[in-house]
Every structure is written in C-alpha cells, then in structure tokens.
Structure 1
C-alpha cells in the first residue's frame, strides 16, 4: 500500500500509475491536468507510478459562463 496526498486529501491505495489514478478517480482524462509535487506531468509521462508521500493535484477544465 502507498499513502499520498490527492487534491488535499490523504489516500491509501495499491501502487498505481498517474493514468490509473485519473481513470479511477476522475473517469475521463479529457480536459485533465496533473501535477505531482507542484510540477505539471505531461500526459506522455502518466505511466509514471505514484510514490508514497507524493502530493498529486488533478485539475479538470469546466465550461461555464
């Protein structure tokens, strides 16, 4: 098990990649940006595993007016 901060909430889960996390927690990767430790992670690197202690921020774009 790993423990990390996800959007301000501590999460404990099995080891997984950023891509798996987005699919599990957000559903769709469309309009999504991910930062780990304050650094934006390009989608091409989402196969990177999340480590215990990481601070992961996932932002989604929304339309409105």
Structure 2
C-alpha cells in the first residue's frame, strides 16, 4: 500500500498506475481529468504513469448543468 494525497486528503492505495487508481476509486472513465504532482496526465498515458507514495493527485470530473 502507498499513501497518496487525493484532492488534498491522504488515502491509502494499492494502485500501481493512474488507470488502476481511477478504477480503484470507482470513477467513470469518461469525463475525468487527472493531474499527478501538478502535471495533467492524458488518458492515453494513465496505464504507463506509475504512482509512488507521497504523490499528489488531483481528480476533476465533468458535470453537466447550466
């Protein structure tokens, strides 16, 4: 398990990469933006972007409205 700051709150995770982390958190695959340590990670790079303890992840989901 690693400790990661998710949107400012520390959480434990067994995810090895961004794709696993998003899946672990039961987030939708569409309409989600992920930044790791201040860098936005394109969805095409989620699998190849490894996570380490103390990484800071920001996740934003799109919401419809008006």
Q: TM-score range by the shorter chain?
A: 0.7 to 0.9
Task: Name the TM-score, length of structure 2 as normaliser.
Answer: 0.86
Partner Cα separation in structure 1 for residue 35 and residue 27 of structure 2:
17
How many pairs are equivalent?
A: 65
Pairing 1:1-65 to 2, within 5 Å after superposition? 1-47=1-47, 48-65=49-66
Deviations 1:14-65 (A, max 9, x none): 2421111112214311000000011101111101221111000111000111
Runs (4+) off by over 6 Å: none
Q: CA RMSD in A?
A: 1.2
Unaligned ranges ≥5, structure 2: none
Unaligned ranges ≥5, structure 1: none
